[in-house]
């Protein structure tokens, strides 16, 4: 599980996160919502160690990971699918997947087979270069790559970006399924609040770097004030 | 057969290939460093020269030739790693011109220091392999055991490097570290170590090239590697910076071009072989003749 | 090329032009005070500063890295040398114009394959070019004088100037000073031209191409033409500088422009401050008195200048300076001013602004 305590992050003179705290637990999807620029991506990047915070602490289970290097955090079982998916186009599908397996002691052959079973399209085109994939396929690849190392924590940064509604819906269902099946701790950053709230158990709403609301997904979804100001949902 | 092998044409081909092998090795070292770090080390030639000079001083003290090569390569390895860690690491994320300029500065320092320590006279090492050309039925064939050794060595290194990048986990991690360092980190790849390793490997291969030059009949002097670096660079560009095989072929092509210019036109103009090839290649296929990537990263 | 300038721009440019003019006058005045040796050094420094200015324009303003400007120098130098060798009584102005034209033309030739390239590819291409000069010069002996090079003597001090001097060493003093004054004057003109160029429409387009070529294209800037223009101007400056350089020494050989000179030019540009007028001036001054500086360092550290180490000190120092500057102060000496100002004002640093001068 992931626990963030009083996190403050700034890029030079610009403050990105102020006193942000949240808790994400195994077997539950925690949605992080808010408008563009609210600090959602920064939050994930800080958890992953790409950004060093000015203040606050981050725990993976009992262990403080706030000053650890990114690759070490990944090796502890934190898988982060970044904004834009981070699929490396100059490599093949299989190479991208194999890259994902290094973080753990998982047997690569078995891991690959498992992901190809879960995502047959990837299996069919395993030797192809990623520049030929569609948006939905790229998302699949990014997910498979994150999952191949059998992580405990899954950080997803706007997975629905650029995807058609039908595909988004399937994707969300998949995320929920995986969360339950492997008892993952999932932190889901989304601008598409509606789809995120449909599958989330808990939710946190950020606005200009600060937490303005947190609670169960149901409570957040039903709160009229939030819906109007921060989530852009139609009344 | 022997008449064919000893013909003027074959003389030129053998001579061109022998020189080309040296360019190939330097080109390989540049491909290695590009594939693992996306930085080009303009001091590559000078570092290789320096490392082999260190090895050569050991020979003066009576050390065996093969051990000296090992010493030189190890020095080169360490030098490469040190340079990455101390000089290049602080520059990641800054404009790429900064790293280029720093390596150019390093080039200047290394040559000046080498000249200060060892003067600019040519130095030579005696090799246990004969450099005497073969004679087949009384006719001269421009091959010697040493030249054959050169070819074999270069091909072997090329196969190892290509295999490393293409088929091994380490190679995959190296490539990922250069292509998308942030994503690689998120996947648990120890990117910093990959970058250092890339520099070390590149320096080691470059040093082998310098040692071969030093072992040849013309020997090695401090600014010798300048021209060789340029030729190696052109070879790498012509072959495509991500193709070890392309680098080797590019190097051999330049060697041949230079040799034919020397033979049929003028010795002074031989160094132009590379640049002529470069312009032609860039006109035909700017991204490199053997590269797979169709689009350049934006 | 329209030369539209906003009012603010115009007044800033005017003050810069005035600055160049005044600096030139002051330097000319200084030549009267300096001994002949220093005058000769100053002359060399002035010639180099012109080349550095062109390089600064190319790398700093158009973002195209070039390691081959010593090659452009050589082209201008040889053009001058060859002409002067056969027609020693041509007026100096003509010689300079010839060098500029030939330099510009070679810049155009090199630009054709080069403007498609970026970063290390471009650096390597320009490096290859500068390395090609020596073999060509050595081979075509009948034209270039081969290995031994060419000798010529066109810098004859005019009588009216000679008459200003009296005393024992009048001729030597007069010659040295005339050379220096000529060099400084030519540099002044070159800097004046560049000051205008930096802040013209062309200069701004150049910077846009450097920073964001996609945006530049959207605004209607012709990318290849702008990049080519950068090369042509830089090469013209280098040609002029090279011409002046060899006129001072009255000789040109294949070894006048080695690879180390390209490295030196780069070092001077970076040390002085990339992309700035003052940076090029500083670079020229450093070059002019580098042998003095190196001599001082030698005596401070007790190194024998005749020893191997002593003879190579310049190379070592320049190389080390280049590395240190790039790592710790990439804006060079000219960039220190704004840094100090910012430090004193203690405002938090925002994203770096492209150098303005």
> Could you say which DSSP state residue B291 is in?
-
C247 close to B (CB below 8 A)? no
Q: What angle do CA B25, B31, B33 make, to 5 degrees?
A: 110
Give the model's pLDDT for residue C240.
93
- Asked if residue B17 is part of any domain, the answer here is yes
* Minimum distance, in Å, between the CA of residue C330 and any CA atom of chain B: 8
Q: State pLDDT tens for residues B42-67.
A: 899 999 999 988 888 877 777 788 88
Any B CB within 8 A of C139 CB: yes
Least confident of B9-13, B24-28, C336-340: C336-340
At residue C82, φ and ψ (nearest 5 deg) are -65, -45
Q: Is any Cβ of chain B less than 8 angstroms from the Cβ of C267?
A: yes
Tokens of B108: 């200047």
Q: Quick check: A196 and A188 in contact, CB under 8 A?
A: yes
Collect all residues of chain C within an 8 Å Cβ-Cβ radius of residue A12.
Answer: 348-351
Q: Decide: helix, strand or coil at residue A5.
A: strand
Q: Measure A13 CA to nearest chain C CA, in Å.
A: 6
Lookup: tokens for A11 = 């890029």
Does residue C119 sit at the B interface (CB-CB below 8 Å)? yes
Q: What structural domains does chain C harbor?
A: 7-290 (1.10.3470)
Partners of residue B297 in chain A, C-beta under 8 Å: 90
Among B186, B193, B293, B294, the strongest candidate for a mutation testing the A interface, having the largest count of A CBs within 10 A, is B186
**Do the domain assignments include residue B70?**
yes
Contact B63, B128 (CB under 8 A): no
> Is pLDDT at A188 greater than 90 in this prediction?
yes
User: Least CA distance to A95: which residue of chain B?
Assistant: B172
Q: Report how far Cα B199 is from the mean position of its chain's Cα atoms.
A: 13
Asked if B104 and C263 come within 8 Å (Cβ–Cβ), the reply is: yes
Domain contains B296: no
Distance, in Å, from the CA atom of A187 to the CA atom of A197, rounded to the nearest integer, reads 12
Q: Residue B73: give its domain's CATH number.
A: 1.10.3470
Strand order in the sheet with A185-190: A78-81, A153-157, A185-190, A28-33, A202-207, A210-216
Q: Is residue B295 part of a domain?
A: no
Q: Which residue of B has its CA nearest to A108?
A: B169
Tell me, what's the pLDDT at C86? 79
Q: Which domain holds residue B60?
A: 2-122+131-284
Shortest distance between the Cα of C12 and any Cα of chain A, in A, equals: 30
Which of these, B208, B266, B228, lies nearest to B74 by C-alpha position?
Answer: B208
Tokens of B10: 């074959």
Residues in chain A: 235
Q: Which of B268-277, C5-14, C160-169 has the lowest mean pLDDT?
A: C5-14
Q: How far is C349 from chain A (nearest CA, A)?
A: 7
What is the reported pLDDT for C346? 60
Give how far B271 is from chain C: nearest CA, Å: 7
Taking 90 as the threshold, does the pLDDT of residue B200 lie above it?
A: yes
Is there a contact between B240 and B285 (Cβ–Cβ < 8 Å)? no
* Minimal-distance CA residue of chain C relative to B42: C124
How does DSSP assign B2-13, residue by residue?
HHHHTSHHHHHH
Q: Assess B187–A contact: CB distance below 8 Å, yes or no.
A: yes
Radius of gyration of chain A (CA): 17
Q: How confident is the model at residue B160 (pLDDT cuts 50, 70, 90)?
A: very high
ipTM of the complex: 0.91
Question: Closest residue of C to A13, CA-based?
Answer: C348
- Taking alpha carbons only, the member of C120, C114, C43 closest to residue C72 is C114
User: Cβ–Cβ of B187/A48 closer than 8 Å?
Assistant: no
Banded pLDDT at C168 (limits 50, 70, 90): low
pLDDT of residue C356: 42
Lowest pLDDT segment from B212-216, B218-222, C352-356 = C352-356
B-contacting residues in C 5-24 (Cβ below 8 Å)? none
Query: What CA–CA distances, in Å, run from B4 to B131, B135, B140?
Result: 21, 13, 11
- pLDDT tens-digit profile of B111-149? 888 888 887 778 777 777 777 777 776 767 778 888 888
Which residues in chain A are contacts of B36 at CB distance < 8 A? none
Q: Which domains does chain A have, with CATH numbers?
A: 2-77+152-229 (3.40.50.300), 89-150 (no CATH)
Strands B134-136 and B139-141, bridge-based pairing:
antiparallel
The Cα A194–Cα B181 span in angstroms is 33
Closest residue in chain B to residue A87, using alpha carbons only:
B183
Q: State the pLDDT confidence band at C226, using cuts at 50, 70 and 90.
A: confident
Question: Who contacts A103 (Cβ-Cβ below 8 Å, separation ≥6)?
Answer: A71, A74, A75, A77, A79, A149, A151, B187, B188
Name which of A179, A182, A135, A176 is nearest A159 in CA terms: A135
Task: Please judge whether C135 and B270 are an interchain contact, meaning their C-beta atoms are less than 8 angstroms apart.
Answer: yes
- CA angle A88–A93–A94, rounded 5-degree value: 115
Which run of H or of E encompasses A205?
Answer: strand A202-207
CA distance A16 to A34: 13
Given B104, B106, B266, which is nearest C266 (Cβ)?
B104
Is A195 within 8 Å of A172 (Cβ atoms)? Answer: yes
Residue C268 contacts B where some CB pair is shorter than 8 Å: no
Show residues of chain B in contact with C134, CB under 8 Å.
271
Distance from CA of C43 to the nearest CA of B (A): 25
Report the number of distinct structural domains present in chain B: 1
Q: Which of B98, B112, B268 sits opposite C139 (nearest CB)?
A: B268
In 3D space, the residue among B161, B130, B160 whose CA is nearest the CA of residue B148 turns out to be B130
Q: Tens digits of per-residue pLDDT, B97-116?
A: 888 889 989 998 998 888 88
- C337 pLDDT higher than 80: no
A90 → closest Cβ in B186, B187, B293: B293
Q: Is the pLDDT of residue B297 over 50?
A: no
C281 touches chain B (CB under 8 A): no
Three-state SS annotation for C272-290: HCCCCHHHHHHHHHHHHCH
Helix (H, G, I), strand (E, B) or coil at A64: strand
- Of residues B295 and B131, more confidence is placed in B131
Q: Which residues of A touch B180 (CB under 8 A)?
A: 86, 88
Q: Does B183 contact A at CB distance below 8 Å?
A: yes
Contact at CB, A90 and B190, closer than 8 angstroms: no
Dist. CA C72–CA C46, nearest whole Å:
17
CB C154 within 8 A of CB C247: yes
Decide if B157 contacts B24 (C-beta within 8 A).
Answer: no
CA of C56, closest CA in chain A: separation in Å?
30
Tell me which residue of A139, A27, A148 sits closest to A81, measured CA to CA.
Answer: A139
- C32 token code pair: 């009267």
pLDDT exceeds 70 at position B279: yes
Report whether pLDDT(A226) > 80: no
- The pLDDT tens digits of the residues spanning A81-94 come to 998 888 998 899 99
Chain B: give the shortest CA distance to residue C333, in Å.
16
Residue B207 has pLDDT above 80, yes or no: yes
Residues 99-118 of chain C whose Cβ lies under 8 A from any Cβ of chain B: 113, 116-117
CB B43 within 8 A of CB B222: no
| pLDDT digit string, tens, across residues C63-122 | 888 888 888 999 898 888 888 877 777 778 888 899 999 999 999 988 887 777 777 778
Q: Which residues of C touch A13 (CB under 8 A)?
A: 348-350
Average pLDDT over residues C37-57: 89
Q: Which of B38, B185, B187 has the most A C-beta neighbours within 10 Å, making it the best mutation to test the interface with A?
A: B187
Distance from CA of A77 to the nearest CA of B (A): 9
Q: Which has more pLDDT, C324 or B8?
A: C324
* pLDDT of res. C35: 80
How far apart are alpha carbons C239 and B291 in whole angstroms? Answer: 37
Q: Strand, helix or coil at A153?
A: strand
The answer to whether C255 and C243 have CB atoms below 8 angstroms apart is no
Number of Cβ within 10 Å of residue B100's Cβ equals 24
CA-CA distance, C318 to A96, in Å (whole number)? 44
Where is average pLDDT lowest: A182-186, B138-142, C325-329? B138-142
The three-class DSSP label of residue C318 is helix
Q: Give the pair of three-digit tokens for residue A157.
A: 């940064």
The residue behind tokens 């995120």 is A196
Backbone phi and psi for residue C343, each to the nearest 5 degrees, phi listed first = -65, -40
Measure B137 CA to nearest chain C CA, in Å.
Answer: 38
pLDDT digits (tens, 9 = 90+) for A56-88: 999 999 999 998 999 999 999 999 999 888 899
Task: Calculate how close chain A gets to C348, using CA atoms only, in Å.
Answer: 6
Give the per-residue pLDDT at C72.
Answer: 92
Of B172, B180, B185, the CB nearest to A71: B185
Q: How far apart are CA C208 and CA C45, in angstroms?
A: 31
Residue C8: predicted pLDDT: 56
Q: Enumerate neighbours of A (3 or more CB pairs within 8 A).
A: B, C
Question: What is the SS3 string spanning C187-211?
Answer: HHHHHHHHHHHHCCHHHHHHHHHHH
Interface of C with A (CB under 8 A): 348-351
Is residue B289 included in any domain, yes or no?
no
The percent of residues above 70 in pLDDT, for chain A, comes to 97
What residues form DSSP beta bridges with C252?
C150
Most confident stretch, B275-279, C213-217, C346-350: B275-279
Neighbour subunits, B (≥3 Cβ pairs < 8 A):
A, C
Rounded distance between C-alpha atoms, residue C80 and residue C248, angstroms: 12
- Residue that the structure tokens 């041509």 belong to: C90
C-alpha atoms less than 13 angstroms from C-alpha of A216 in its C-beta half-sphere = 3
| Chain A interface mutation, best of C345, C347, C348, highest count of A Cβ atoms under 10 Å | C348
Q: In the prediction, which pLDDT does C9 show?
A: 59
Least CB-CB distance to A74: which of B175, B186, B295? B186
Confidence of residue C357 (pLDDT cuts 50, 70, 90): very low
Print the SS3 string covering A80-100.
Answer: EECCCCCCCCCCEHHHHHHHH
| Mean pLDDT value of segment B180-205 | 93
| pLDDT tens column, C115-144 | 777 777 788 888 888 888 878 887 777 777
pLDDT at A222 over 90: no
- What is the average per-residue pLDDT within A159-164? 89
Q: Provide the percentage of residues in chain B whose pLDDT is more than 70.
A: 93
């Amino acid at each position: 599980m992931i626990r963030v305590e009083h996190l403050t992050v700034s890029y030079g003179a610009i403050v990105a996160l102020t006193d942000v705290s949240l808790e994400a637990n195994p077997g539950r999807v925690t949605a992080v919502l808010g408008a563009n620029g609210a600090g959602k991506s920064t939050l994930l990047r800080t958890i992953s160690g790409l950004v060093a915070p000015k203040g606050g602490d981050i725990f993976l289970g009992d262990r403080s990971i706030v000053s650890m290097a990114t690759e070490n955090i990944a090796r502890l079982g934190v898988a982060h699918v970044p904004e834009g998916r981070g699929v490396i186009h100059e490599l093949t599908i299989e190479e991208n997947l194999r890259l994902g397996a290094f973080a753990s002691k998982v047997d690569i052959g078995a891991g690959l087979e498992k992901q190809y079973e879960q995502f047959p399209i990837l299996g069919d085109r395993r030797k192809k270069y990623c520049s030929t994939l569609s948006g939905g396929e790229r998302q699949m690849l990014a997910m498979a790559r994150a999952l191949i190392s059998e992580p405990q924590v899954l950080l997803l940064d706007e997975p629905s970006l650029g995807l058609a509604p039908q595909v988004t819906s399937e994707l969300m269902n998949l995320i929920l399924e995986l969360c339950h099946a492997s008892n993952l701790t999932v932190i889901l950053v989304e601008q598409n609040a509606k789809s995120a709230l449909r599958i989330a158990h808990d939710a946190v709403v950020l606005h200009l770097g600060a937490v303005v609301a947190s609670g169960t997904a149901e409570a957040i979804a039903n709160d009229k004030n939030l819906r109007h100001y921060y989530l852009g949902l139609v009344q | 057969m022997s008449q064919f092998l000893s013909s003027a044409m074959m003389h030129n081909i053998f001579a061109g290939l022998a020189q080309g092998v040296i360019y190939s090795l330097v080109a390989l070292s540049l491909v290695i460093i590009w594939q693992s770090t996306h930085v080009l080390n303009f001091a590559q030639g000078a570092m290789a020269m320096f490392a082999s000079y260190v090895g050569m001083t050991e020979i003066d003290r009576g050390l065996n030739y093969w051990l000296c090569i090992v010493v030189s390569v190890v020095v080169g390895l360490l030098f490469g790693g040190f340079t990455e860690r101390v000089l290049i690491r602080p520059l990641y994320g800054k404009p790429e011109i900064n790293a280029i300029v720093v390596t150019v500065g390093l080039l200047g320092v290394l040559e000046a220091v080498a000249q200060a320590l060892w003067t600019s006279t040519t130095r030579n090492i005696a090799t246990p392999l004969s450099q005497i050309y073969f004679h087949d039925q009384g006719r001269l064939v421009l091959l010697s055991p040493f030249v054959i050794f050169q070819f074999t060595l270069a091909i072997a290194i090329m196969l190892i490097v290509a295999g490393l990048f293409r088929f091994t986990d380490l190679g995959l991690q190296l490539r990922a570290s250069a292509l998308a360092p942030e994503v690689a980190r998120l996947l648990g790849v120890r990117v910093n170590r990959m970058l250092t390793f890339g520099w070390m490997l590149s320096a080691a291969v470059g040093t082998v090239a310098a040692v071969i030059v030093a072992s040849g009949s013309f020997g090695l002097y401090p600014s010798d590697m300048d021209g060789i670096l340029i030729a190696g660079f052109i070879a790498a560009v012509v072959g495509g910076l991500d193709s070890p095989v392309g680098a080797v072929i590019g190097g051999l092509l330049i060697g041949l071009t230079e040799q034919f210019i020397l033979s049929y036109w003028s010795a002074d103009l031989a160094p132009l072989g590379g640049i002529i090839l470069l312009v032609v290649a860039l006109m035909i296929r700017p991204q490199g003749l053997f590269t797979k990537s169709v689009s350049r990263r934006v | 090329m329209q030369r539209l300038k906003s009012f603010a721009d115009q007044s800033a440019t005017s003050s810069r032009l005035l600055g160049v003019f005044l600096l030139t006058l002051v330097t000319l005045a200084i030549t009267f005070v300096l001994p002949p040796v220093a005058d000769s050094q100053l002359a060399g420094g002035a010639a180099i500063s012109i080349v550095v200015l062109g390089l600064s324009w190319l790398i700093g303003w158009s973002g195209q890295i070039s390691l081959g400007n010593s090659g452009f120098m050589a082209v201008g130098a040889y053009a001058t040398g060859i002409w002067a060798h056969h027609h020693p009584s041509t007026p100096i102005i003509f010689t300079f114009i010839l060098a500029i034209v030939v330099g510009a033309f070679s810049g155009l030739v090199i630009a054709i394959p080069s403007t498609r390239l970026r970063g290390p590819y471009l650096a390597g291409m320009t490096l290859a070019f500068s390395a090609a000069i020596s073999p060509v010069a050595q081979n075509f002996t009948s034209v270039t004088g081969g290995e031994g090079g060419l000798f010529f003597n066109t810098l004859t001090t005019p009588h009216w100037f000679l008459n200003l001097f009296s005393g024992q060493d009048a001729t030597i003093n007069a010659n040295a000073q005339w050379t220096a004054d000529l060099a400084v004057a030519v540099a002044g003109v070159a800097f004046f031209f560049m000051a205008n160029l930096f802040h013209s429409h062309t200069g701004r387009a150049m910077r846009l191409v450097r920073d964001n070529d996609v945006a530049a294209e959207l605004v209607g800037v012709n990318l290849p033409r702008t990049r080519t223009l950068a090369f042509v101007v830089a090469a013209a400056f280098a040609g002029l500088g090279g011409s002046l350089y060899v006129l001072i020494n009255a000789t040109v050989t294949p070894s006048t422009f080695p690879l180390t000179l390209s490295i030196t030019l780069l070092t001077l540009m970076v040390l002085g401050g990339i992309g700035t007028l003052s940076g090029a001036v500083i670079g020229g001054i450093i070059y002019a008195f580098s042998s003095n500086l190196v001599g001082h360092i030698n005596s401070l550290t007790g190194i024998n200048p005749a020893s191997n180490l002593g003879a190579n000190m310049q190379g070592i120092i320049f190389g080390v300076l280049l590395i240190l500057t790039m790592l710790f102060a990439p804006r060079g000496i000219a960039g220190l001013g704004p840094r100090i100002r910012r430090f004193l004002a203690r405002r938090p640093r925002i994203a770096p602004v492209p150098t303005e001068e």
